[in-house]
Chain A
Amino acid sequence: MKGFILSFRSEFYKSRKTLGFWASIMLPLLICVLLFVGFYSKSEKLVSYPPMVLWLQFAGAILAVMGSLVLPMYIIFIAYSVNSIEHRADTWKTLFTLPIQRWCVYAAKYFYAVFLVFTCLALFVLFTIGFGNLLSVVKPELRFDDFHMEKELAEIYFKLFLSSLGILSIQFLLSLLWADFLKPMGIGFVCTIAGVILASKGWEYAYLFPYSHPMQAIKTMMHRGDSDHAKQLQIDIFTKDVFVSMAVGVVVFVAGYFIVQRRSVK
């Protein structure tokens, strides 16, 4: 366990000056700022909306961008980023000659990627709430302060986080096995497009395909069966696509370890 913690801290130390790390902070900031500017400049059209609808519009716009394309692409990039540090510096051999268990090195890297994704999504929650409330300060006619959906937002992004674990594991393994960017990127991109199409066309087995999961997660988050408006805001976190995503995540993570262990270090 000590080896895992040391390796995890080292991952942070190594990556804190890389684009991969900063992307996790800049991406939510950028998207939320853009939406903030959009709402600020078009505030006169939004004045008539009740607070809940305002929030749904604001958070929904961010979620729509995230769920479809940005989240999968961001995950592909993060998985590449944490592995390419070692590929570029040719440091795999040094990592595996340290007096640290191999699984610690592997798991620390994987969980660091998970941590980055989690941080990014947590910042989305934070920035969405922050910029929403800021809107009500700078444009008091937008009544963002009259409605609260912090809990629901946190639940939605947590669901998104869980639904991204399948893709993350697969992309992590691809990026670990291939040093170049194009192979994992190309495969990830094609699968993401396919995933978006499958999920948006409502294919009944889309929940089995990891690259459909973020979009599936957005589609399945609203609690069904209630026409009552207030109850519609209940979030279903553990839907079957989320379970599949977590299962794929765990299976690929474990399988990846055995693949890495059997592969000779060049």
Chain B
Amino acid sequence: MVINTQGLSFTFGKQQVVKSLELQVPEGSIYGFLGPNGAGKTTTIKLLLNLLKPDAGDIFVFGQDIKSQRISILSQIGSLIEQPAIYQHLTGKENLLNRALLLGVPAQRVDDMLALVHLSSAADKKAGQYSLGMKQRLGIALAMLADPKLLILDEPTNGLDPNGIIEIRELLKKLVAEHGKTVFISSHLLSEIERMATHVGIINGGAMLFQGSIADLQAISKPLVRIETENTVDAANLLTRHNYQLAQVTDHDLFVPYISKQQMGEINALLNKNGLAVYSIGKQQKDLEKLFLDITQNA
């Protein structure tokens, strides 16, 4: 495990913001840390980076205790918390050069990073004049400057346009696949995480509601058989008469809980036998978006 927390708790005043959190982030994963706004994501990230001191619990990063090995751990982490922290009076390049100076990274790497996040042409422009998307990209370049083993990114696609979001996503996937990095990324958007994460943790009200691989998450969402026929109402009535439970009926489709492939064949045959043309039939996972809402709302 790259990140492993045990009973991690934190209180702001009287409000407990993080409740006994047990994070398990495997090496080489893209771990999507999901939760609605105010769920405690940023606080958890600040605890992981030792910006806040936990009230209780332990944090191990790369198997080392953050309390005693702070410097060694931080030297292997690149992070972006909330809005990127950028000196507005310096140019994009100067921001990177300043960080390179602090981290003891050769200046050549600054140009590589600028090229990586497509800011080479704006390198000598004051960062204060950057658009939100450019600032975000500069923030990511700053996080990756020291070539860290672990990237901790707090809502990194905030303010990016669709192209920018796709670029970041591809970049993170590439870093994990080709360079063996681990990425811990927080978001309140499941759709974003779903497209790149290998592992997911869902947090709400400071407590972990689900943690596991994307496949585990999909597994707990019960699959359905989606049927598109020429007449949805007649088909629904026919299936009900034959003791099929209907999960959902819409204008164009109807849904039956999935049991087996054979069952799908039987449904198809039944409908055809009764003169209802089947346009399409297939197994479908329950929408993760709904699952996410179910999980966070039922807590």
Is B89 a contact of A93 with CB atoms below 8 Å?
no
Number of interface residues of A (CB under 8 A): 23
Q: Are B85 and A94 in contact (CB under 8 A)?
A: yes
Among A6, A93, A265, contact of B102 (Cβ-Cβ < 8 Å): A6
Tell me the bound Cα distance from A94 to B139 in angstroms.
Answer: 11
Tell me whether chain B's interface is mostly helix, strand or loop, or mixed: loop
Q: Which of the residues A6, A89, A101 comes within 8 Å of B104, measured between beta carbons?
A: A6
Q: Does A234 lie at the interface of the complex (its beta carbon under 8 Å from any beta carbon of B)?
A: no
Cβ-Cβ contact count across A and B, 8 Å cutoff = 66
Determine, out of B45-53, B155-163, B235-243, the stretch whose residues face the partner at the interface.
B45-53
A99 touches B71 (CB 8 A): yes
Inter-chain CA distance A164–B34, complex, in Å, is: 51
A9 sits at the interface (CB 8 A): yes
Docked CA distance A169–B90 (Å): 27
A88-B77 Cα distance, complex, nearest whole Å: 24
A-contact bits for B254-275, CB 8 A (1 contact / 0 none): 0000000000000000000000
Query: Is there an interface contact between B101 and A6, defined as CB atoms closer than 8 Å?
Result: yes
**Stretch from A10-18, A45-53, A124-132, A251-259 forming part of the interface with B:** A10-18
Chain A CB within 10 Å, residue with most, of B46, B86, B102:
B102
Measured CB to CB, the nearest residue on chain B to A97 is B49
| B-side interface size class | 20 to 34
Given contacts A14-B87, A91-B85, A265-B51, is CB(A97)–CB(B104) below 8 Å?
no
Contact A17 B88 (CB under 8 A): no
* Distance between A177 CB and nearest chain B CB, rounded to angstroms: 17
> Shortest CB–CB separation between residue A215 and chain B, in angstroms?
34
Minimum CB–CB distance for B196 against chain A, Å = 24
**Chain B CB within 8 A of A7 CB:** yes
A97 to B74, CA, bound (A): 6
B142 proximity list for chain A (CB < 8 A)? 94
User: A90 an interface residue at 8 Å Cβ cutoff?
Assistant: yes
CA distance A85 to B74 in the complex (A): 23
Question: Does A230 count as interface, using CB distance less than 8 angstroms?
Answer: no
Across the interface, which residues of A come within 8 angstroms of B90, CB to CB? Answer: 14, 17
Contacts A13-B97, A97-B49 hold; do A89 and B75 have CB atoms under 8 A apart?
A: no
Complex contacts, B83 vs chain A, CB 8 Å: 90
Partner of A18, one of B89, B94, B103: B89
Contacts A85-B87, A99-B75, A265-B52 given: A93-B46 contact, CB under 8 Å? yes
A264 interface contact, C-beta 8 A = yes
Evaluate contact between B89 and A101: CB separation under 8 angstroms. no
A100 beta carbon closer than 8 Å to chain B: yes
Q: Name the contact of A97 in the complex, choosing from B51, B87, B94 (C-beta under 8 A).
A: B51
Which residues of chain B (80-127) have a CB below 8 Å from chain A? 81-83, 85-90, 94, 97-98, 101-104
A17 to B127, CA, bound (A): 14
Known pairs A13-B97, A97-B51; A7 contacts B74 (CB<8 A): no
A98 at the interface (CB under 8 A from B): yes
Chain A CB within 8 A of B9 CB: no
A90 touches B85 (CB 8 A): yes
| Cβ–Cβ contact A264 & B53, under 8 A | yes
Decide if A96 is an interface residue (CB 8 Å cutoff): yes
- Complex: A93 Cα to B45 Cα, angstroms: 11
Asked whether, in the complex, the Cβ of B85 is within 8 Å of the Cβ of A93, the reply is yes
CB atoms of A98 and B102 under 8 A apart: yes
Contact bitstring A50-71, B, C-beta under 8 A = 1, else 0: 0000000000000000000000
Residues of B within 8 A of A97 (CB): 49-51, 74, 77, 79, 81
The residue in chain A whose Cβ has the minimal distance to the Cβ of B94 is A13
Among all A-B residue pairs, the 6 with the closest Cβ atoms: A99-B75, A91-B85, A99-B74, A265-B51, A94-B85, A97-B49
Chain A positions within 8 Å of B, measured between CB atoms, are: 6-7, 9-10, 13-14, 17-18, 85, 88-91, 93-94, 96-101, 264-265
